[in-house]
Amino acid sequence: MPASRRALLAATLLAPFSAGAQDFPTKPIRVIVPFPPGGTTDLLARLFAVRMSETLGQPVLVENRAGAGGSIGADVVAKAPADGHTLLFHNITFPVTTATLQHAGRAPHLIERDFAPVSLGADVPMVILANPGLGARDLPAAIAVARGRAMSNNPLFYGSTGPGSTMNMVFEVIKREAAVPLEHVPFRGAAPLVQDLLAGRVQLGGDQLSTALGHVRGGNLAALAVLSARRSPALPNVPTVREAGIPALEFEGWNGFFAPAGTPAPVLAKLQQAVAEAARNPELRARCAELGAEPGGNSAAEFGAMVHAQAARMREVVAQVNLRAE
């Protein structure tokens, strides 16, 4: 076949894809949040959805598909058409849960294989919390209490949002690093966990900072440490886990957008631009500050590099503590 004819054929075959990317979006965009309504990830998704709708010229609708530590909602997106009209808004739980399921040999999807990173929505530090009745104001003090209670066969209980969740992993690392016994109590979400932590039915717990910021500022919960590399501007007096002596727990909390693998690059670029523009909006930034979050909007390459590096690290940690999923 002559070269000119091959070029014409290639252009003809590619034309529908180029036009589709240029016209994107052609219908409302679904943003799947793999957690129940009302949590930090859900609130941030809705803040971004409003601003992204203005930029993209189509409604951006948030849909909650909770269950299995976020795996149910993630699987919906992994299997959706790769046209940019279905997105996932997930958080730091994503690489932890996926690593845990991989460790068990039953991961329905893989971050690197089944998803295309779009952009960071917002950084939200993870925080380790305690009921004030424990009498511990930092992580070393809580570990000392746990060690003392173990001698009287009265272990401390910690809550997480379920087996294989981020905080399940965090406290299992604490158990290993500090050599203290802690008993796990799983919850179906952050809201019931915080309620039992407030009531003292569990003594330790944790989640994204936004979930408990009001309770910490009001003195109803004690923030023992943040897991990020630097202290949170929202709680500048709370030390990092590195300062608390457990650097193995240091990692960044985040919430971000993903599309199904195979989504065309021009579509991903439009979506990333919409996220970045939303992140610059003064009203969104002010609301994020109230939640203890810092808006993102970085490139897909930057976001992907961070998430993939975390996923590799989480696989190592999950194997070390032998974390089990539901």
CATH number of the domain to which 46 belongs = 3.40.190.150
Do 153 and 44 share a structural domain? no
Q: Average pLDDT, stretch 308-324?
A: 91
pLDDT digits (tens, 9 = 90+) for 115-135: 999 999 999 999 999 999 999
Q: What percent of the chain has pLDDT over 90?
A: 72
CATH at 206: 3.40.190.10
Do 205 and 90 share a structural domain? no
Domain count, the chain: 2
Look at residue 264 in the predicted model and tell me its pLDDT.
97
As a whole number of angstroms, the distance between CA 67 and CA 50 comes to 25
Q: Which of 222, 249, 276 is the last residue of a domain?
A: 249
Do 170 and 32 share a structural domain? no
Packing angle, helices 282-290 and 265-279, rounded to 10: 70
Q: Is the pTM of this model over 0.85?
A: yes
Q: Would 6 be classed as within a structural domain?
A: no
As a whole number of angstroms, the distance between CA 239 and CA 307 comes to 24
Give me the residues paired with residue 222 across strands: 130
Q: Which of 203, 223, 249 is the last residue of a domain?
A: 249
Domain that holds residue 245: 126-249
pLDDT digits (tens, 9 = 90+) for 40-94: 899 999 999 999 999 999 999 999 998 888 889 999 999 999 999 999 999 999 9
